[in-house]
Copies of this chain bind each other. A is one copy, B any other.
Amino acid sequence: MRNADRQAIRDLPLFADVDEQRFDELLNAAYVQRIPAHVDLIREGEPADFLYVVIEGSVELFSSSHGRDSSMAIVTPISTFILAATIKDAPFLMSARTVAPSKLLLIPSVNIRAVFEADTRFARAIVTELATCYRGVVKSMKNLKLRTAVERVGNYIIRLQDKSGGADVVELPYGKKILASILGMTPENLSRAFGALQSHGIVVDGPSIEIIDRTALEACCKPNPLIDDPRS
């Protein structure tokens, strides 16, 4: 493993305070895997044998039930996924597949659980991580239940602009098909929402979106920091 990658993982709040020796143990037990795009990593319902860390690329978490599918989230570097299932030694509630060619670190769950039992600082870091994950999903629920499709799309654009340092032109980081599914709508409806928002301060050109009137966009889509602020 490259030192830059190792340091990037070390800098994650989850691992930052772990005892150095135990961090070494985790990494020594782990596997680095380079995976092409569109590869299934794990299937919902299967045991969570590894904690996954996305180093490069991106991973889609999705769920299926009786013929229906829905994307739930995209995990980008440097992030972990399936921490809760790992800690609980429980089956995973979502499947995961690579969206782009990806570099992943797979840390065996037994090692994660061992360090969790042995290192108090790790246990506390896991608390913070899980609390953050929990609040993230609660906010997604609120987004779904309290907003129309157009509002969800508009607020996604606003968040993306904020995340891009306020740039006027932002690029969608993944395809519109997945974005639609994450936002809880069909691709057709996403196209229509983009169309509708062109009267409210944006210009859409494929994966590029220019925000020409942020005020109009916010008036239409009504951002709420208790849903949209990634730090809350």
Contacts and interface: CB of A to CB of B under 8 A. Distances in A.
Classify the secondary structure of A's interface with B: helix
A132 B88 contact: yes
Nearest to A92: B226
Interface string A26-70: 000000000000000000110000000000000000011110111
Contacts of A93: 135, 138-139, 142, 226, 232
Copies of this chain per assembly: 2
A158 B45 CA distance: 20
Contact of A123 (B63, B70, B87, B124): B124
Given A141-B140, A142-B65, A147-B65, A88 B222 contact: no
Contacts of A193: none
Contacts of A3: none
B130 A65 contact: no
Contacts of A63: 142, 145-146, 226
B91 A226 contact: yes
A88 to B, nearest CB: 5
A94 interface: yes
Interface residues of A, number: 49
A94 B144 contact: no
Given A93-B139, A145-B63, A124 B116 contact: yes
A93 to B, nearest CB: 5
A84 B44 contact: no
A127 interface: yes
A127 B63 CA distance: 24
Contacts of A124: 116-117, 123
Interface of A: 44-45, 63-66, 68-70, 72, 83-85, 87-88, 90-91, 93-94, 116-117, 120, 123-124, 126-128, 130-135, 137-142, 144-147, 184, 222, 224, 226-227, 232
Of all A-B residue pairs in the complex, the 3 with the closest CB atoms, nearest first, are A130-B130, A84-B131, A70-B145
9 contacts: A68-B147, A72-B145, A84-B130, A85-B135, A87-B128, A88-B132, A91-B226, A93-B226, A141-B144
